[in-house]
Structure 1
């Protein structure tokens, strides 16, 4: 029997795709690459606007007018920064994350639904960012020049929680979930899971069609609490079991090969490198005469730190 040739099979499949659909897919992908650059330029401009406004400096000084309150100052400055940046970025987000997806037929979500989800996510992100800031700025004060090493460990834990645990905890915030119903789709998924040696008792469906028309699945969690998550787009209309098996097998492969742990480790390394760069870059900026601590320890300078970090992230994005 001839060995399976994935390159030949892929080429054969691509020849079956309608040229119009292929051109549309290429345009979407290449446009997404350009969005990385334009989004970075916009973020740089927003960081500079917030920095020049003096908003965070006034906020920091007001909080610490009578006595030092470093934790409250860190929380407030970072939370207000994230909220302010989100407001300034909103027109771009509407285009890049909502209108563009609808124009390519990848989403049917209305503006009201998208805005509600965006506002909820922004509020949650700002509060979480403020809490993380308390930890990182405390590490700056207590560990000195090596704060970025300890902070990268914090980032590793957060990355794993975000990849493996958060999807299970917060999926129900925006979507309704239910156990996958009995039927051919569930049997096909259970068959793939059994072949891979993975327990298939936890298979849930969420109403992902509310946000996206994409045909998606994922495996989240870890040993003992792994869950196969399906969008309801995989259960509506004409069901292609071979495609379902391919999508789910791909995601189970990530789980079986511990890609979540590897990704968390990579994020920790990159975060450490980015934080080290922030420390070096902000350390080179002249300090104000009335400030005794390094600029990097000033939460009002978070726009500068963010500017350095997002530039590093852009350059290290595959």
Structure 2
């Protein structure tokens, strides 16, 4: 009796999973656009904005509008979120999370989003009123400071809300990863493991934080099926990003794009608001227009942003091989990650070009294997 090819079968599953996720992404994208236009064109935005302006003082009226608009979207998109974040991963054997656990995570995410986002929206509307023409300058500056602050605080304040951090109990592996960080010239606070297995069967590792909060984090699912050489190769890739200063460079690139977007918004929004009969930019009825504009701008900049990211990921792979000296270990680790995480090795070129922040996994594996062959011949 002929036996099937497990690897080929797994790739077929990966392709199906990737197609379904893309369709869900497109569905959610279209749904948000329709939802926003319904608010704007039906007159609901103006009516709700007037109601909030009468009920609350400025800028709390804009915060109230954000609660109404964002809360409506959260409820409307909840079935899609449940399918894409809970049912689909279970269907493909990737999730270990209970429904109660998933709901708890969603509630935490909504709470964090509201706790962080609503004060920022209030500040944005204060900037609209204080600097009607040049608001984009202080807003862009605050965005940069906020992003840096969040990168510092995420491993200390935010990530522990979702994962348990413990010092890695394997002293030999921990010492090996610390030596690797020393070779890369990256100062770390320590090596920690997180309980990914409570939610998923996928594996990952990386660095979290900046400066004094930077630490190596290894998922417990990675410790179960990977050799020390493979784990070192994965972390070498992450350390390479810090060695190449990809974090500040990425922040600078994102800040440039966002600065352009804010500047364009400052020029175009007054005209759009007049066209829609919205009184002024600092009126709460402008919020759905701002949300839709920011969403469309993020779509427009997705291609250059992802192209930048793929370039830096290629450079990190090359640097990882130099750091650990084991291209075969990197190739083996990437292949295992692809199978375990159900990643499509060779997506269609247009899919990679538009949607992927990393080069296609098959390309990365083949590049590492080619390097390993060159090293073995030399």
TM-score normalised by structure 1 residue count: 0.82
What displacement does 1:79 show? 2.8
Q: Is the 8 A contact 1:40 1:311 kept in 2?
A: no
Change (3 A) 1:23 1:315: farther
Change (3 A) 1:252 1:263: same
Moved more, 90-99 or 78-87: 78-87
For residue 20 of structure 1, what is the aligned residue in structure 2?
A: 9
For residue 115 of structure 2, what is the aligned residue in structure 1?
A: 127
For residue 31 of structure 2, what is the aligned residue in structure 1?
A: 42
Q: Is the 8 A contact 1:47 1:304 kept in 2?
A: yes
Match of 2:283 among 272, 280, 298: 298
3-state SS, counterpart of residue 228 of structure 1:
strand
Change (3 A) 1:122 1:65: same
For residue 139 of structure 1, what is the aligned residue in structure 2?
A: 127
What displacement does 1:188 show? 3.2
Q: Is the 8 A contact 1:164 1:260 kept in 2?
A: no
What displacement does 1:60 show? 4.1
For residue 312 of structure 1, what is the aligned residue in structure 2?
A: 297
3-state SS, counterpart of residue 230 of structure 1:
strand
What displacement does 1:199 show? 3.4
What displacement does 1:247 show? 1.5
Alignment of 1:264 onto 2:251: yes
Match of 1:73 among 38, 61, 64: 61
Query: How far apart in 2 are the matches of 1:289 and 1:171?
Result: 41
Match of 2:228 among 241, 245, 248: 241
Gaps of 5+ in 1: 1-15
Alpha-carbon RMSD: 2.8
3-state SS, counterpart of residue 133 of structure 2:
helix
Alignment of 1:176 onto 2:161: no
Query: How far apart in 1 are the matches of 2:301 and 2:95?
Result: 29
**Aligned residue runs from structure 1 range 162-173, under 5 A:** 162-173=150-161
What displacement does 1:201 show? 4.5
Query: How far apart in 1 are the matches of 2:79 and 2:41?
Result: 21
Match of 1:104 among 81, 92, 108: 92
